[in-house]
Amino acid sequence: MKAHDGMYIDGTWRPAVGRDTIEVVNPVDEQVIGRVPAGTAEDVDTAVRAARAALPAWSATPPAERAARLAALRDVLVARKDEIAETVTAELGSPLKFSENVHAAVPIAVAGSYAELAATHAFEEKVGNSTVLHEPIGVVGAITPWNYPLHQIVAKVAPALAAGCTVVLKPAEDAPLVAQLFAEAVHEAGVPAGVFNLVTGRGPVAGQALAEHPGVDLVSFTGSTAVGRQIAVTAGAAIKKVALELGGKSANVILPSADLAKAVNVGVANVMSNSGQTCSAWTRMLVHRDQYDEAVALAATAAAKYGDRIGPVVNAKQQARVRSYIEKGVAEGARLVAGGAESPREQGYFIAPTVFADVTPEMTIAQEEIFGPVLSILSYDDEDDALRIANGTVYGLAGAVWAGEEAEAVAFARRMDTGQVDINGGRFNPLAPFGGYKQSGVGRELGAHGLAEYLQTKSLQF
Ligand code: NAP
Ligand code: MG
């Protein structure tokens, strides 16, 4: 795979300060497919300086010009979509079809949505005798994970550029190649030098240096709750704004009036998709006790059908982590009805599609984010019981409700402490605000709400 041996800073690829590199590994066959530089605090500092220097001119460009650059960026992503899909498949191990339909297609949709929003958003409004200006917040430090590597980059960089901010990105060390490809795309799109900068590197070195840098005005982070908490503490001390998109343990609530087979099958597909490495995955399925055995049998059949068709998880550490959760589930008394902790293949970081029945709300596998293809099925007695279980974790990122009538599902969804709910299998909407209640995060991404994260207001009184 193509890999740059430098950092994209101030419009050019320049050598890293240090010599340390990060090996990029294909999780399907455990082979090294490339190397990227491991950035240091010095690289981050150079990048932040470039972003600061570019800020006055970029923030003063008319929104129509920023919209034109974002439209050009979308067009480059479209022209290079096959290369994007192949790159994500190589570094994440996801099946090529999924990379095409999701890892490449969603960022194109999101970049396009911000090209349009930049052109149409009201960056000024009248409030009584005031004019309120919505101004860019400044230099953004973006730190992203590997599970939807390009989507998570575009979901931060596109609104930041639309707002008139400049950016330094520290992508995940497990998926830096698509981040380098993105930097090439930004360059091809004619975005001025210094507006977007890329520093590859390790979280505790480059990531931490970026989060701590006094030249960064907003830290936008997606990843684990543990690192997010640390970033919030650092930013809080500096009175710096943060946006945090963290973990989830979402509930898929199947009410008795629902089409049970459809709800179970879509629910299983949702969890197995991307090998379970989706922060908003519905990893807890809640079924009425009268329908429980039928749902468990349906889910076991559906999971077994996935068999070999799902990709591996991202690395050996994640594989070990997911396997230890499966072992814990068994140890705490849950009943395995599909999959298990044993690796289904000799090579690659694979986990068999796994389903647990007889899961109770306080079990570890019902409380903690596993980030693998593991579904827990819980039973409830009535709607209040279902609601108590659904809301009974520290998380609140997403969820689903199924019922015979939409209105019944909506009534339940209103009572859920969570940022997104799909009603009877509703589709992903790249314009809808995405983000968490409770410990799933702070702030919202995507659409106009995502743009607002990168703006601050100034009121002029007349
Ligand atoms: P992570 O450590 O939180 O990684 C997310 C990003 O933060 C990466 O770019 C990472 O760099 C960086 N980072 C790590 N330590 C940092 C620090 N001290 N300061 C600043 N940045 C830092 O997540 P992970 O280790 O990849 O995955 C662990 C668990 O997090 C998963 O099992 C899953 O539960 C959860 N997770 C959630 C999401 C989500 O979308 N909500 C995404 C990924 C993971 P490196 O790549 O170099 O580590
Ligand atoms: Mg990490």
User: Is 308's pLDDT higher than 80?
Assistant: no
Is any ligand 1 atom within 6 A of the Cβ of residue 147?
yes
The rounded radius of gyration (Å) of the Cα atoms in the chain is: 22
User: For strand 21-26 and strand 124-127, is the pairing parallel, antiparallel, or unpaired?
Assistant: unpaired
* Annotation marks residue 408 as catalytic: no
Question: How would you class 14 by CB atoms within 10 Å of its CB: exposed for 0-12, middle for 13-18, buried for 19 or more?
Answer: middle
Is any ligand 1 atom within 6 A of the Cβ of residue 252?
no
Q: Which CATH architecture has domain 251-429?
A: 3-Layer(aba) Sandwich (3.40)
Intervals of CATH 3.40.605.10 along the chain: 6-246+439-461
Residues 188-240 pLDDT 10s? 999 999 999 999 999 999 999 999 999 999 999 999 999 999 999 999 999 99
Nearest CA, atom 46, ligand 1: 172
Q: Which of 279, 369, 408, 453 is catalytic?
A: 279
Residue 1: predicted pLDDT: 86
Ligand nearest to the CA of 226: 1
Q: How remote is the CA of residue 27 from the centroid of ligand 1, in Å?
A: 17
Residue 147: predicted pLDDT: 98
pTM: 0.98
- Distance (Å, whole) CA 188 – CA 198: 15
Is any ligand 1 atom within 6 A of the Cβ of residue 212?
no
What is the arithmetic mean of pLDDT over 262-274? Answer: 98
* Annotation marks residue 346 as catalytic: no
What's the mean per-residue pLDDT of the chain? 97
CATH classification number, 6-246+439-461, choose in 3.10.290.10, 3.40.630.10, 3.10.450.50, 3.40.605.10: 3.40.605.10
Cβ–Cβ under 8 Å, residues 152 and 102: no
Q: Residue 331: CB partners within 8 Å, gap ≥ 6?
A: none
Is any ligand 1 atom within 6 A of the Cβ of residue 369?
yes
Intervals of CATH 3.40.309.10 along the chain: 251-429
Long-range contacts of 65-71 (CB under 8 A, 24+ apart): 66/118, 66/161, 66/162, 66/164, 67/115, 67/116, 67/118, 67/119, 67/162, 68/115, 69/161, 69/189, 69/190, 69/191, 70/111, 70/114, 70/115, 70/118, 70/158, 70/161, 70/162, 70/189, 71/112, 71/115
Q: How remote is the CA of residue 34 from the centroid of ligand 1, in Å?
A: 21
